[in-house]
Structure 1
C-alpha cells in the first residue's frame, strides 16, 4: 500500500515499487508464454461460488487492495490496443470454448450471460459469465471505465455481447475476458424488447404496419413509466428501441407524429443524461412546423430542449436561435427569456473577454464548483512551434498583467467528488511508476461517449499513443473512444486547479482538462501565469507579449534544476532546454546546491516577514540574502540576459518593503 509522506505527497517505499514492477513484469512474461494457448475450462459451480464470495467481501469492504481504505489501485499502462471499429452485425460468433490465451479475437463476437454477482472494486469490476447452456463459465472484467450514467455496467444488464473479445490474464495470473474500451461491450437488457418482433410471414402490409406501430407505442409507454420512476437510463433505452421501430419506413410514413413524440421525449431524457448531441438532434427531429396551438406548444418544447443542449455544449449562437424561435411560439416564456439573458452574457465574454469575476466567484461553492461562463481565446492561435510540436501564440500585443485568455474547462473532477480516483501506474514503455488521476481519464471518456461531437477536439491534443488518430469513429452500435489514447492525452495535458473547496490529499487531487490551454508549451522563463476561479482558467501575461510571440508558462516551478528536470521528464516526458536550464546545466553542482539552500532561506524569510512597515534590520537581512543569491549567478557568462529566477521573490519583497518611521 502506498504510504503518504504528507497530506499532499504520496510516497512509495522501495519494496512497494519493486512489488508493483515485479507483478506487472511477471504478468507480461506469463502472457507472452501463453499466447495462442487453448483456454482451460472452469468448473462452473466452483467459479460462480468464488465470485459470489468475492462480491460479498467487496460489499463488506473486506477485499484487500483497491477497495481497502487508504490504498491506491495499481495497474500497467503502455500496452494499448485499438477498440473494435466493426459493427456487431458484421462480426462472426465465437464460443467460450474457442477462446485462446492472450489473444484479441479480431472479427469475432462473444455472447454471454451473467452467472454471478458483480465484484465492484475501485478501478475495475468483474463477474462470472456463462454460455446459453451454462456448461462453460469464464471471468469478465471491465477495467477503469466500468460505470455508465452512474451505474456499474456489469450490474446494469444480465447478458452481454463482447466485440472482438480480448482473453488474457489478470495481475494475479487468473484468466479473464478483459474490457478496456466501453464500446467493446454491448449490454443486452431483458426489459427491452427486440425490434424484430413484427409479423412478416403471410401478413398483409397494413397488419405489419399496425404491429410495428404497436411495438413502438409500447416502448414509448414503458419509457414514460420508467421516467416516472426516475430510472433515466432505462427510460432512454425504451425510447431508443421505440424510435428504431417507429423510424422504419412502414411506420414513419403512416404515423410520423409517433417518431416526433418519442424524439421529443428522448430529447428531455438526453438532457438529464448530459447526452447533449443527441438531445439537440432529437429536439430538432421532433419539430412539426404546424400552426395549430397544440403543435406550437410541442414545437416550443422542442426548441427549448434544443436550446438547452446547445447552450451546455457552448454553442451560444445556435442556442440563441433556438430560444428566439421558442419565444415566437410561446411569447413571454420565462425560461427562454432567462436563457437569452445568459446567452447575451456568454457571447459578450466570448467576444470581449469582459467577465463579472466578482459575481462568478460568489456563485461558486463545494456543491456548485463549476462556473457558468464562456471561453475567451481570440487573443491566441495554435501554430507550429520550433522543436516543440505545436504551441499557443499571441494574435495581438498583450501588456504585462493583461489577459491572455479565459477558458472554461472541458472536464474537471474535484477531489471531493466521487469520480475522483488516483492510481499508481507502471508504464511498460519507459518502466516508470507514476501517480495518475485516472478518475479524470474515466470522466473524459464518459463525456466523449455522451457527446461524440467533442471527440475530435480532444483527440487533436498530444499523446504518446496515437491509436487510430483523431478521426471520430462511430458504428451502428454507437460512438467509439480509444481509452488508451485518452489516458495518454490526459497524462500529458491535464492541470491541477488546486484545492478550492476544502481539504484534499494527493490521492484525491482535483484535476481537469482545458483543451486550448493544453497547447501552451513550457518554459522555466515563462511569460504567462495561470490561476483558477472554479473550473475557469485565467491566463495573464507576466511581461509584455508581442503579437506573434509564443506564450509559455511553467509546468513545474521548482527552483532546483535537478528536481525540475526530473519532474518534467517523469510527468511530461521531455528535457527542458530553455535559456535558464541551459545556463544552470553548466553550473557546478556545488553552486546549484548552495543556490538552492539560499533560495530556501530567502523563501522562508519572505513567507515569515511582512514587507509592510518592515524594520530596517529586517530589510538589511533581506538585502544580505539577495546579494548572496545574486553572487551565485554573477561572474558566469551563461547568465547574461537570463533572469535570476531563484532570487526573484526576495527582490520583489525588497522592492515593496519600506522602513518603519
Structure 2
C-alpha cells in the first residue's frame, strides 16, 4: 500500500533509544542554571541553518511535506498543561533567569526574534533576545502555523507564557512551545485613530476597505483582515451602519478562508441589512416580512451574508443553525444554485511517535491533530466541547475547566494528541482498503464502543460519517462497530492494544483465542494472501483475469473455512474470509 510505513527494527530501536536517553538526561538537569549563549554565534548558527533548509527544499523541489520515506519522529508522553493565566497577570523574567527542564509557572518572557526562522515539517525554530540582549533558541513543535503562516515568521515580538526551558533530542537547549496559546504574538499595528469629523472618518474607512479588497485580490489574507478590521473600527463610529455592514461582509469571507469560523459567523450576522427574526426571540413576526419593501440589491447582499453564516455554522458543527441560514439564503434567492458548502480537508501528515509512558512506537496522524488544534484555537466555541466530551489518557487536570484567558482560547495540545490517538477514524475506500491515508475525528461516532461482532458499519458521504445498522438492534442493545477488521487475530489484538489501548474480549476473540497456535498461524497466512488478492482487484488488476481471480478467491475461502471449528464458530463472523465472500457475491 502506498501509505504503509516501513520501519526496520533497528531504526525503531534507534528512535526509541534516542527518545528514552534524552528523557533520562533531562531528568538529571532539572533546575540547573542556563548557560548563556554568545549572541553573534547563536544568530549565525540559526541563519546558516535557515539557509541550508531553504536550499535543501529548493534542491528537492519540495512544495509539501515529505513522503513516508522521511517520516518525522516525535517524542510524546510527558504532557504538561497550558498556561491558564492571562499575560498581563504574569510576572516578567529574563532569559538569564531560565532553569533547565523547568516550567516557569507564574512568569512570562517578552522576546524579539533575532534570526531567520528555520522551518521544518513538524517544528520551527529561531533565536530570540530579551531586553538585556541575552540570546536563546525558541522552538514551536507541530503547531507551527497560525493563519497559514509560520507563527515565528509572522511577527518580531512575542510573549512566552510560563516558559518551558528544556533540551531537544539532540541535546540543544531551547524554549519549547507545545501549546499555541503559550505563545502570544505582539501585534505590529495599533488601532487607527478616529478622525474628528464623520466625513474624514468615512473617507479613511473607505480607504481601509479598498486596501483590504486589494489585499484579498492578491490572496494576502492577513493583510486584508487587518485592513478590514481597521475599516470596521472607523466605520462603526459613523451615524449610519451601511459602510460597517459592507466591511463586515468582506471580513466574513476572509475569516472563512482563514478558518476563523466563530469570527466569520459573527461578521456575517453583523452584515445583515434586513435579517430574518431570531426564532429564539420573544417576538417572532412573520418571517416573510424581511423580503417586503426590499430592493434586489439588499436581497442579494443578505443572501450572501446568510450563505457565509451558514458555512461558518456548518464548520462549527452547529448543523441546525447552518440549515436555518441556508434556508434563509434560499428564501431570498430561490434561483441561486451556486451555494455550496465548503468541505474542510484534513492534512494526511503522519509522524512516528515514541510514547514514553509505555515505550511503544506508533504512527500518529499529526496532520489531523494539528488541524483539530488549529480549528479549536481559531474558534473558541469549540474548545470546551473538544476538551470535555471526548476520552483521552491525559486529562490535563491542573488546567481542567479553563478554556480561555484574556489572551484568547486555551487548547491543551497533549490532551488533543491523546483524544485523536484514541478516537480518530481512518477513512476507508469502498473495498474496505485504505483510501489514501485520510483520517478524521467525528466526536459522536467516537463514543461508540468496539466489537469484532459489530451491529453497524461506517460509510462516508463527503465529510459526513453515516453509521448504518447491519442487523436489527433491539431497544436497550448497545450500538457497536469495529475499530479494526483484520482477519488475523494477533494482528487485530496488537492494533487494538497499540492504537486504542485495550485488549478485545468479545465472543469472537474468545473463540479465536481458543484456537491452536498452528491453526491461527495458518489462518493468518491465508488472510494475508486474501488481502494481497483484494489489493490487486482494488487497483484494477482483475481485468481480463477475472475468472482466475474468482477461482483463487474460492480456493482461499475454502481453505480459510477449514481453519474454523463449526461448533465453536456457529453464528460468528469469519473475518479472514468475509471480504472475499463479498467479492464472490458481486
> Which of residues 155, 169, 180 is equivalent to 1:157?
155
| Residue number in structure 1 paired with 2:519 | 591
Whether 1:491 aligns to 2:421 is yes
Shift of 1:152: 0.8
Shift of 1:312: 4.1
Change (3 A) 1:35 1:551: same
| Residue number in structure 2 paired with 1:525 | 453
Shift of 1:333: 8.0
Which aligned pairs between 1:432-511 and structure 2 lie closer than 5 A? 432-459=360-387, 460-467=389-396, 471=401, 473-498=403-428, 509-511=437-439
SS of aligned partner of 1:490: helix
The question of whether the paired residues in 2 share the 8 Å contact of 1:445 and 1:486 is answered with yes
The number of residue pairs the alignment matches comes to 550
The question of whether the paired residues in 1 share the 8 Å contact of 2:306 and 2:328 is answered with no
Residue deviations 1:230-287, cap 9 Å, x none? 321133234446667888xxx69x8877765654443332223222211222233455
| Residue number in structure 1 paired with 2:282 | none
The question of whether the paired residues in 2 share the 8 Å contact of 1:51 and 1:116 is answered with yes
| Residue number in structure 1 paired with 2:6 | 11
Shift of 1:141: 0.7
> Which of residues 172, 175, 187 is equivalent to 1:174?
172
1:326, 1:555 → 2: CA distance? 40
SS of aligned partner of 1:116: coil
Which aligned pairs between 1:548-567 and structure 2 lie closer than 5 A? 548-567=476-495
Residue deviations 1:272-311, cap 9 Å, x none? 3222211222233455669999999679636632442223
Change (3 A) 1:222 1:159: farther
Change (3 A) 1:38 1:582: same
| Residue number in structure 1 paired with 2:321 | 318
Greater CA deviation, 302-311 or 103-112?
Answer: 302-311
Which aligned pairs between 1:343-492 and structure 2 lie closer than 5 A? 412-413=345-346, 419-459=347-387, 460-467=389-396, 471=401, 473-492=403-422
Which aligned pairs between 1:246-257 and structure 2 lie closer than 5 A? none
Residue deviations 1:464-488, cap 9 Å, x none? 1112588571222222211111111
The question of whether the paired residues in 1 share the 8 Å contact of 2:349 and 2:368 is answered with yes
> Which of residues 602, 617, 633 is equivalent to 2:564?
633
Shift of 1:527: 2.2
| Residue number in structure 2 paired with 1:282 | 267
Which aligned pairs between 1:609-624 and structure 2 lie closer than 5 A? none
1:312, 1:17 → 2: CA distance? 42
SS of aligned partner of 1:155: coil
Shift of 1:137: 0.8
Shift of 1:146: 0.4
Residue deviations 1:606-657, cap 9 Å, x none? 98999xxx99xx98x9888766655543376x54543444455666678x59
Change (3 A) 1:286 1:626: closer
1:220, 1:479 → 2: CA distance? 32
Whether 1:266 aligns to 2:266 is no
| Residue number in structure 2 paired with 1:125 | 124
1:600, 1:106 → 2: CA distance? 53
RMSD: 4.3
TM-score normalized with structure 2 length: 0.80
| Residue number in structure 2 paired with 1:24 | 19
| Residue number in structure 2 paired with 1:358 | none
Change (3 A) 1:299 1:32: farther
Residue deviations 1:134-171, cap 9 Å, x none? x3111111100001222111111111111111111111
Shift of 1:526: 2.0
The question of whether the paired residues in 2 share the 8 Å contact of 1:58 and 1:67 is answered with no
The question of whether the paired residues in 1 share the 8 Å contact of 2:46 and 2:115 is answered with yes
| Residue number in structure 2 paired with 1:89 | 88
Consecutive unaligned residues of structure 2, counting only runs of 5 or more, are 276-289
Which aligned pairs between 1:47-58 and structure 2 lie closer than 5 A? 47-58=42-53
The question of whether the paired residues in 2 share the 8 Å contact of 1:52 and 1:116 is answered with yes
TM-score normalized with structure 1 length: 0.72
| Residue number in structure 1 paired with 2:441 | 513
2:576, 2:482 → 1: CA distance? 14
1:87, 1:95 → 2: CA distance? 18
The question of whether the paired residues in 2 share the 8 Å contact of 1:220 and 1:238 is answered with no
The question of whether the paired residues in 2 share the 8 Å contact of 1:216 and 1:243 is answered with no
The question of whether the paired residues in 1 share the 8 Å contact of 2:303 and 2:333 is answered with no
Change (3 A) 1:175 1:639: same
Greater CA deviation, 572-581 or 233-242?
Answer: 233-242
1:530, 1:277 → 2: CA distance? 30
SS of aligned partner of 1:544: coil
The question of whether the paired residues in 2 share the 8 Å contact of 1:77 and 1:426 is answered with yes
| Residue number in structure 2 paired with 1:362 | none
The question of whether the paired residues in 1 share the 8 Å contact of 2:383 and 2:409 is answered with no
| Residue number in structure 2 paired with 1:228 | 214
| Residue number in structure 1 paired with 2:572 | 642
The question of whether the paired residues in 2 share the 8 Å contact of 1:193 and 1:241 is answered with no
